[in-house]
Amino acid sequence: MIKYIIKRIILIVPILLGVSFLVFTILSFTPGDPATIILGNGAEQEAVEQLNEELGYNRPFLERYFTYIGNIVTGLDFGFSYRTRQPIREELVKRLPISFKLAFFAVVVACLIGIPVGILTAVKQYTVFDTGPTLTALLFAAFPTFWLGMILLYVFSLKLGLLPSYGAVSWYHFILPVLGLGLPEAATLMRFTRSSMLETVRQDYIRTARSKGAPERRVIWRHAFKNALIPIVTIVGVDFAALMGDACATEVLYSMPGLCTMIINGIRQKDVPSVMGATLLLTALCALVVLLVDIIYAYIDPRIAAKYSGRRG
Amino acid sequence: MTESPTTPPEKALAPSEKTLEPSETTLAPSEKDIDPSENSLEPSNIIFRKQSNAREIWRRFRKNRNAMIGLVLFVIVFLACFVAPLFISYGKVTKQDIRHRFASPTISHPLGTDHFGRDELARLLYGGRTTMAIGLIAAALSLLVGGSLGMLAAYYDRLDNPVMRLIDVLASIPPILMALAIVSALGTNLQNVVLAIAIARMPAFCRVIRAAVLSVSDQEYIEAARAGGTSDLRILTKHVIPNCLGTIIVQTTMNMSLLMLAAASLSFIGMGVQPPAPEWGAMLSEAREYMLQATSLMVLPGLGIVLVTTQLNLIGDGLRDAFDPKLKN
């Protein structure tokens, strides 16, 4: 077990390095040099060149990359914003909780709705309890999160005036964004749970459990659900990671000061260090979540742990 | 000869095909004329098998009610968005008429006007054309690059590890962030948006097609072709790709809806198609400020996105079941 966990943690290092290199490379194609962006177009040529020299912009590409990564690894130093001249790290620390909360609670909502309804539809296949939710889910799965968000915003904050329409000050502000982000996710999760359950219900061990007289409730929860859960956990993890990125449109819609709005503002203002820092942080978080899920997965599925425990394998 | 292992099960599935035989064989000669050198050893029965296979898939697809509803609706929306602009000039899309902003539907403006007094129907149709065209082109591009990479990785063992590690890295970046980074470096215009979302979707295509090719490439007919001295290029194009066609088509359909959503959300956050050019996501973004004055401006483009993505998903589901009836639950 521990061997497996260590192996997974070691595997994530090259991925993170690769990701950072890729993002660094893509963003290095951004037109314009930092000094011109900082000093403006009217600045004197000499001042521009001097500042570029100071910022290390004239050094070779690989050297710049390794300096950047080195600073992050050794001192969590993401550099300075071209616009505000403040350290990027402070901005990241301020914005991270908002993005994380948004994605986390959206996943919680998705699980609380998607998994139980998915099981219900699978158990009651071909009845109203199946077709109703399945059709609703088909529709919701196609909803762009930003459009659902707009509709919720229109109904609950503009028409009914119940909830705030922008900002991220209290948990109150999170209700609409979380629902807008979580409901389409719930639909996807429901469809997945349903097919996973239907697959499991057909297995021989379910027939065995039924024929030995186990009560239906026990068959569903103990025998079927526990086995169907394994692929579901993977999907939830992957979706959580994806949601942190997909939250972009939601953050923009509700003007939430999260990491995605930081990226977008950074792009608008040509503030490359902001874009880079926020993108890297979000990507690293996604990778960590996937890693965490893999570890949980090993706990749920004894077969994986067995593979790494040596003797029994 | 090499194709024979797949032929009997197809026939077993479709006893009715025997009756189609005469008409099929009459079609064969014309096909043969196109490529006489290649098929000289394998006469018309190959072509016959392919056509009847497609027919069989179409027959199964047609029986699927949901998929047919999806297909019919999709064709209607698609035609509306791609044919109607031939009759409505682009001038109508951008012509502002501030005095008649937020107008109710009239004969000259069947869906009313927007916040600049522009005709909403024309904008919706042109906008749908942009959204769908981006989805289509990006799906084709992503399939071409990602799919080829996946195929090569699966077929050549040496390439498998390097290509897939690269794809692992690509896949760890959330697609929308990847697209944002690319757009940020290259600038926001239509080509860059297509490029950005296509690259961001590549890992998905690569992985699925790699898996499909892997499952095909250890089949006996591939081995037989190789033993017979067939070149790799010919094995890939004549044996591997046709046998993965089901996966390829289903994946492309499914991913097209995701790519359309990606394009719309990029435009929505202001990093995609720029106003005044109409695009469903960009139109929604503009409508945000006028939600109370004109609710229809915010409803119609969103409805368009939901309709088209649902239809594509229905078609994709139907195609998957039609290509492989065993998967259906």
Q: What is the pLDDT of residues A195-247, one digit of tens each?
A: 889 888 888 888 898 899 888 888 888 888 888 888 888 888 888 877 877 78
CA–CA distance, B219 with B302 (Å, rounded to integer): 46
Please report the pLDDT score of residue A173 as a whole number. Answer: 85
Listed by start position, the domains of chain A span: 88-309
Q: What is the pLDDT of residues A252-276, one digit of tens each?
A: 898 889 899 999 999 888 888 899 9
Taking one residue from A and the other from B, the number of pairs with CB-CB distance under 8 angstroms is 134
Q: What is the pLDDT of residues B119-139, one digit of tens each?
A: 888 888 899 999 999 999 999
Mean pLDDT across B44-62? 70
Distances (CA, A) of A223 to A112, B216, B274: 20, 34, 53
CA–CA distance, A88 with A274 (Å, rounded to integer): 6
ipTM at complex level:
0.85
Model confidence band, residue B62 (pLDDT cutoffs 50, 70, 90): confident
- Residues of chain B with pLDDT > 90, as a percent, come to 26
**Among B177, B287, B298, beta carbon nearest to A282:** B177
Model confidence band, residue B8 (pLDDT cutoffs 50, 70, 90): very low
Report whether pLDDT(A140) > 80.
yes
- Fold topology of B65-86+118-327: MetI-like fold (1.10.3720)
Report whether pLDDT(B73) > 70.
yes
Query: Closest chain A residue to B296 measured between Cα atoms?
Result: A151
**Among B185, B270, B298, beta carbon nearest to A29:** B185
> Is the domain covering A88-309 a CATH 2.30.30.40 domain?
no
Query: Closest chain B residue to A255 measured between Cα atoms?
Result: B269
* Residue A130 in tokens: 């199946």
CA–CA distance, B88 with B328 (Å, rounded to integer): 43
Q: Helix, strand or coil for residue B38?
A: coil
- Type of residue numbered B109: H
Test mutation, B168, B268, B311, B313, chain A, max A CBs within 10 A:
B268
Please indicate if any CB of chain B lies within 8 Å of the CB of A153: yes
Distances (CA, A) of B86 to B96, B113, B136, B275: 20, 20, 19, 21
Mean pLDDT of chain B: 80
Least confident of A278-287, B25-34, B167-176: B25-34
Model confidence band, residue B51 (pLDDT cutoffs 50, 70, 90): low
DSSP B17: G
Model confidence band, residue B50 (pLDDT cutoffs 50, 70, 90): low
Q: Could you tell me what percentage of chain B is helix, strand and coil, using 3-state DSSP and rounding each to the nearest 5?
A: 80, 0, 20
* Listed residue (A304, A279, A307, A241) closest to A100, CA to CA: A241
Please indicate if any CB of chain B lies within 8 Å of the CB of A300: no
Please report the pLDDT score of residue A312 as a whole number. Answer: 42
Q: For residue A30, what are the contacts with CB-CB under 8 A and spacing of at least 6?
A: A270, A272, B184, B185
Contact at CB, B284 and A150, closer than 8 angstroms: yes
Helices B190-217 and B157-172: crossing angle in degrees, nearest 10, is 140
Residues within 8 A of B (CB atoms), A 155-184 only: 158
Please report the pLDDT score of residue B206 as a whole number. Answer: 94
Please report the pLDDT score of residue B256 as a whole number. Answer: 92
Q: Between B34 and B292, where is the model more confident?
A: B292
CA–CA distance, A177 with B327 (Å, rounded to integer): 36
Contact at CB, A22 and B170, closer than 8 angstroms: yes
Q: Helix, strand or coil for residue A313?
A: coil
Listed by start position, the domains of chain B span: 65-86+118-327
- Type of residue numbered B196: A
In angstroms, what separates the C-alpha of A254 from chain B's closest C-alpha? 11
